[in-house]
A and B are shown apart, each in its own frame.
Chain A
Amino acid sequence: MDRTLLGIFTALGGALLLVGLTFSRSVDAPADLRFNNGTEPKTLDPHLMTGQPEHRLASALFEGLVRRDAKSMRPAPGVAKSWDVSPDGKRYTFHLRDDARWSDGHPVTASDFVYSWKRLLDPKIASEYAYIISQVRYAEALNTYDGHAESLETAMAKALAALAAANQSGVPGKEWQKFLSKNRVNDPLRGQNDPTLNELLVRRDGVVTRAELEWMQGATKGIAGDLRRQAAEARAHFGVDGGIIAVDPHTLVVELRAPTPYFMELLTFYPTMPVPRWLVENPKRRDDWFLPEHIVANGPYVLKRWLVNDHMRLERSETYWGKEQVKSRAVDVLVSDNDTTVLNMYLTHAIDWDPEQYPRELGKELRRRDDFVLTPGMIVYFYKINTTRPPFDDRRVRKALNLAIDRKAIVERILGLGQIVAKTFVPPGIPGYVPPASAVETNPEAARALLAAAGFPGGKGFPEVGILYNTNQGHKTIAEYVADQLRKNLGIKANAYNQEWQSYLETVRSLDYDIARAGWVGDYADPNTFLDILVTNGGNNQTGWSSSLYDRLVQSAADVGPVVANPESLLAELQNGDAVRTLVNAVRNAASPTDGLAAQAKLRMQLLQEAEGVLVRDEFPIIPLYFYVTANFVSPKLRGFYTTLHFDDGTTGPNLMDDHPLRDIWVDHEASP
């Protein structure tokens, strides 16, 4: 045979042989439960992770003091078999079960939690979710005060000196606010009880004089020293005799700064889960202790395999105290983020559960299927308004924007999956929370009047408005619709434009936009998780908006004590303080500590409601558009999966957090399809 032909056939044959040889991967027994988890988790370290896919894995591999009961989402015994709360609501005593074990056989003890929470708060490990336990005594000081002092002493001191040197005759209020926002001073200076300082921080009109700048330089130095002292104190006490205390191996005490009604719920959240000290402290394992070859955990499953971009295999843990309740022996966790592929895999029964992934354009079609389950979620879709940019610094303009958009059309015509029109910022359904009366509605007439009052009759003279969204077909459709509404209803020129995710984050962060698309997912079922982002100069505020009343309301809700002691100054600022006054009196006149706690919880919700009122009735730094529904494709064979929750008192409600613990899910392979 010819040499060329021979060569070609040898090369091709060799290539095929290579294919055969490299493709000799062992395929093990099929899993009992297979589902797609969306994206590859960044890490499995519960103190460092963020996101929903990570949450599913964390609660499968680890277990905190309590876990979420699959049927009701209420805290159920986890490592703690029971707990008591002190009458003032500030001291929790947890009784840990004797048979809680790490997967290497070590018992899980109270000191494991003390260590883990200390680690979570250690600024060196840079946990993004450390703030979740900031209601625990000393926690915030331990986590942030040294860093705040550092930035006050260095960056802030330098910036203030430069500002003072450059402006001999003082700084105009607007420039001053820009300076504060750029230097992110709010975090370190937040919550100081100095009226002069607090007034300075929110000054927008007039001038900050040179003397005031000098005073500020001295004050920040003093505050920095104070923060350092408090951080040192926290280090000395936290985990020893304050904050979190291991009384004995099976008794754990947690102290709070103030009664926190949702505290137990936080304990189901992954940042509060324990990590194996002997492993994470091993310098060689510091970064990769959670890989299958090393990991030790205490949850219902162990991690057997993790092939990146392919799948993870979880197997029932033999050391888990409740292993009889875990019905799935092996679980395969897939990580495809291609919507069409995932849907096809579900349709061909390759997976039993597909959370959230389907081609959006097929939504209305798919809605007819029985196994496509839609549930209201704790997620809000809204637009941020850059309030530092004229004319958006005028609240009439912001209100006009809010009134000009037909949200019902977005929800019904564009989305069509039962999303809910958002007239407020906090999603509905949070137990005990009543949303404030909102001024957000569709009223082009009133919107035009407001715009005219602000000096732009018929939109004349209004600058061109850019609506920024991160590249995504769904966001695009909505942004273009909104732009069209603004054109039609207000006569202003609006353009929707997109940026790829990282650029978008950067643009929004540096306030280089007019209007920007945003979304926010609640971490727990409480208004605080939403309202907290819009406090002055908060890292996620990104609108440049600031209101001292709003800040005070949110802060008072975190600890109602000061308001109960001295309600008058706050009441003076509220347009209608009757509700707050009544509730303050109820707290004061409570007959028993239990009644007092209940009254405090009510007052807290009232304060949050007043805060939200500032957003949607007076100030409008945002344009709420709609509340999400979460979508799950659920195989009819799936058991232990609840999108409708069943509470102890016989009532039902939607699974707002869209949480479905793997511990309790299983596939009934006997069931007819």
Chain B
Amino acid sequence: MTSRGRAVTGVVGVAVATAGLAVALGPLSGVMLVLGLALVASTAWLGPRGARVVGTLLGTLVVFGVARAAWNPVVGAVLAVVFGVLAFRSLPTMVMRRIAFLVPSLVVLIFTTTLLMYRAPGSPFAQERVATPQVEAALRAHYGVPKSATAFFGIYMKRLVVDGTLGPSIKVQGRSVEQLLAPALPVSMTLGLLALVIATVTGLALGLRAGLEPNSPADYASMGLVLVGVSLPSFVIGAALMIVFALKLGVLPVAGWGGYKHLVMPAVTLALPYSAYIARLARGGTIEVMQQDFVRTARAKGASERDVVLRHALRGAILPVVSFLGPAAAGILTGSFVVETLFDVPGVGQWFVRGAINRDYSVVLGTAILYASLVTGFNLLVDLAYAWLDPRVRGQP
């Protein structure tokens, strides 16, 4: 498409979107949302130098904010300056572009999430026993949750930028959302990492084995196993493990958190579906790569079968797995509600669901921000890994 054509399509699209959103959400929210989206989209037009400048600026701000919340403003300032200088001088443009994109999209994310939350019936202060209007008004004022979504957005952004906090939780009082997520994140990450390792190792092994000899009994056996892993929901797998290892054999604790023994069942439960998915991807990748010319060439050169598999097939098998691992890692590291509830693991996954059920607005936003940052971050990692793994991608901007 020509640049003029693109511009026309863009203008028409924006106009239609604005009108639609203004009708659906009310004029103020609709216009604000379109402006926000435009801001996010505009980061795509940044040139390499522009991306560098904007990315550094926004990145510095984020580093300052996070470090200030974690330690104090002085450390925040020092870290921010160090990051800014290093980033501007040595980070690849691809990374800077991501940062320039991430920050405005988080703002839009917060706004959209706020609108959606306020559309859901109920409020964080609704209880079975009805509070008087005065009590509710006092609570709303205290927690900074006014009745209008846009007013809440204003308060939330001010809290986030000026005070550097994700706001107080209403259902777990006395703690801010960052105080809730901070101890939960390492728990989910520990479990997630372990599950990821289990999933990758078993998945790759099964997939590779199946892909090297497609349609052999080994292939059918592996893929049959995979089918079980994909189709059994984790609450069934978890419950089955619990019955066997905790109730019947008594070798593992039923649930809880605190010792290495507590890790085993949740990690395996969490890993199984991912493992199955990875196995399928790896099988497909292997089959494809084994038919490539360079594999034939390698064989012609007299490379041993072991070499062919390890040097060439593995690489081909891994590529689709790596692109899957990015978003999968973001998902698996932020925990799973089902597994965490089943095994009583104090991780982040519970907050995603509890926040929404309780209408605990700040918790909902906090988890949304966390998840969005992780997804963007891991996608970036995947891009970098691709550049490193696949010569064809290297060198592209």
A residues engaging B (CB < 8 A)?
2, 4-5, 7-8, 12, 15-16, 18-19, 22-23, 25, 27, 40, 42-45, 48, 50, 123-128, 144, 147, 150-151, 155, 184, 187, 287-291, 307-311, 334, 336-338, 340-341, 344-345, 347-348, 350, 500-503, 505-507, 509, 539-540, 542
Contacts and interface: CB of A to CB of B under 8 A. Distances in A.
Given A144-B134, A334-B344, A506-B121, A308 B197 contact: no
A4 to B, nearest CB: 5
Interface of B: 120-123, 126-136, 138-139, 142, 168, 171-175, 180, 183-184, 186, 189-190, 193-194, 196-197, 200-201, 239, 242, 246-247, 250, 253-260, 263, 310-311, 314-315, 318, 341-344, 346-347, 350, 357-359, 388-389
Contacts of B255: 336, 338, 341, 344-345, 350
A50 B260 CA distance: 36
Contacts, number: 177
A592 B329 CA distance: 79
Contacts of B200: 8, 12
A287 B131 CA distance: 20
Given A344-B242, A345-B344, A542-B130, 4 more contacts: A128-B135, A307-B346, A308-B346, A340-B239
B186 A184 contact: no
Contacts of A123: 134-135, 138
Contact of B359 (A128, A144, A502): A502
Contact of A128 (B129, B180, B263): B129
A43 B256 contact: no
Nearest to B142: A126
Contacts of A347: 247
Given A348-B253, A539-B130, A288 B175 contact: yes
Nearest to A155: B133
Given A144-B132, A287-B173, A506-B126, A19 B194 contact: yes
B121 A43 contact: no
B122 A503 contact: yes
Given A15-B196, A184-B133, A22 B310 contact: no
B394 to A, nearest CB: 14
12 contacts: A15-B196, A18-B189, A25-B258, A144-B134, A309-B346, A341-B242, A341-B342, A344-B246, A500-B357, A502-B358, A505-B122, A506-B126
A287 B168 contact: yes
A321 to B, nearest CB: 27
B247 A502 contact: no
B121 A4 contact: no
A276 B189 CA distance: 39
Please provide the 4 A-B residue pairs with the shortest distance between their CB atoms, ordered closest to farther: A502-B122, A147-B134, A539-B130, A288-B174
A133 to B, nearest CB: 16
A542 B122 CA distance: 16
Contacts of A128: 127, 129, 131, 135
Contacts of B175: 288, 291, 308
Contact of B174 (A16, A50, A290, A336): A290
Contacts of B123: 502
B130 A540 contact: yes
A336 B256 CA distance: 9
A373 B121 CA distance: 38
A309 B184 contact: yes
Contacts of B347: 309
Given A308-B346, A350-B253, A506-B122, A18 B193 contact: yes
Contacts of B190: 18-19, 22-23
A498 B42 CA distance: 44
Nearest to A291: B174
Given A15-B196, A500-B357, A505-B128, A309 B350 contact: yes
A337 B357 CA distance: 14
A291 B194 CA distance: 32
Contacts of B127: 50, 128, 505
B318 A4 contact: yes
Given A22-B189, A43-B173, A308-B180, A150 B314 contact: no
B33 to A, nearest CB: 24
Contacts of B193: 15-16, 18-19
Contacts of A43: 173-174
**A16, A22, A44, A50: residue with the most chain B Cβ atoms closer than 10 Å:** A22
A311 B175 CA distance: 16
A289 B173 CA distance: 10
Contacts of B314: 2, 4-5
Contact of B194 (A16, A50, A155, A336): A16
Contacts of B186: 22
Contacts of B359: 502
Nearest to B123: A502
Nearest to A122: B138
**A44, A50, A502: residue with the most chain B Cβ atoms closer than 10 Å:** A502
A340 B238 CA distance: 12
A539 B136 CA distance: 12
Contacts of B310: 2, 5
B343 A341 contact: yes
B133 A287 contact: no
Given A16-B194, A18-B193, A336-B344, A126 B174 contact: no
A337 B353 CA distance: 13
